[in-house]
Amino acid sequence: MSSSTVPADDSTAPLPGAELTVIVPTFNERANVHVLIERLRTTLGDLLWEVIFVDDASPDGTAERVRELATADRRIRCIQRFGRRGLSSACIEGMLASAAPYLAVIDADLQHDESLLPAMLEELRGGAAQIVVGSRYVEGGGIGEWDAGRARLSRIGVRLSRVLVPAELKDPMSGFFMMHRSVFERSRHRLSAIGFKLLADVFASHPEPLRFKELPYRFRPRFAGESKLDSATAWDYAMLLLDKLVGHVVPVRFVAFSIVGAFGVAVHFAVLAPLLRLAHVRFMEAQAIAALCAMTFNFALNNILTYRDARLRGWRWLRGWALFVLACSVGGVMNVAVASFIFKSYGTWVLGALGGIVVGSMWNYAVTKFFTWGRSGS
């Protein structure tokens, strides 16, 4: 197999840049980074390569460990992010920090088979493919030790992804792939950067159908640490699909904000009814308590889901809650005012109610986006 090699040492000559950049998004992966780097050294040998770890301020000291290792190897780089989270957005930032013509994405947990990287690179060099996917679902691949529940969720995700990717792509949920820089450059302004599934995002964002090749690998057990998959991962994936389908019409965060708001209405009535019927609290007091409970529920759920990448914690959570309640209280007043105006003007209570809800919701979304979660949540 042909390869680009490091030239003989010449202190007066400029050093060539990397041909391949391996992007590794991390959160609490300190125990894995050294092992991954050693495996990359073995696998990639004398290729011109570099690895960029993009760390979301891991409390376990992942970034510090990467920098320690980087002092002995200039091919190791670290980007440390604060105030934002997300695998897809981390990968995008790593790619933007690279000048290499070929870009690979691999997890830090060693579940992906790094020995496949040279074959991926060779496929791209040949020009027949623009993107090469490490696939669990082609002949020779496998999902390893997954339980039945995780396997079922993966199959559902694959079926849902068909609205974004070609049916011929067997593993659109893969987090292990390599692409030519031109693919990233032509896609990056359209990327949603939501959640964990960057591959599907790239396929959906590229202006023309991509030529791709899938190479089989068997998914391995995590080497160290704990899985980052949780219930919010499915939500992120749903938001990615929605963004690609309706994001050009309405911001997907507004859709998420509205969905959470609908649950908040249910919470409002769930609190209001027993206060009135069982505790015999006066309506105005019961309404105020129910409204505060609903707003608190909405704030907490939006903080976990809608603004997961800018999640507030500790003192900032309390400050954010106070700003959210204040903004939504103003939105409630606007809701009533607009609804009353429409009702008096047109005599239709349904139209008035809908108008009030729309205006109140838009106010709540716009104000809380900037003043509760800040511009990092935009």
Q: Name residue, tokens 């159908």.
A: 209
**Secondary structure of residue 181 in the 3-state scheme:** helix
Q: Which residue has the higher pLDDT, 10 or 13?
A: 13
Q: Which residue has the higher pLDDT, 116 or 150?
A: 116
Q: What is the mean pLDDT of the segment spanning 145-167?
A: 76
Q: Which amino acid is at 310?
A: A
17-70 pLDDT, tens digit per residue, is 899 999 999 999 999 999 999 999 999 999 999 999 999 989 999 999 999 999
Q: How confident is the model at residue 157 (pLDDT cuts 50, 70, 90)?
A: confident
Q: Is the pLDDT of residue 330 over 50?
A: yes
- Residue 114 DSSP symbol: G
% of the chain surpassing 70 pLDDT: 92
Give whole-number Cα distances, 248 to 10, 16, 21, 189, in Å: 52, 41, 31, 13
Give the pLDDT score at 72. 94
101-147 pLDDT, tens digit per residue, is 999 999 999 999 999 999 999 999 998 999 999 999 889 988 877 77
Give the pLDDT score at 227. 63
Give the pLDDT score at 280. 82
Tell me the C-alpha distance between 73 and 88, whole Å: 26
Q: Which segment of 161-170, 199-208, 320-329 scores lowest on mean pLDDT? A: 161-170
Tell me the C-alpha distance between 290 and 352, whole Å: 23
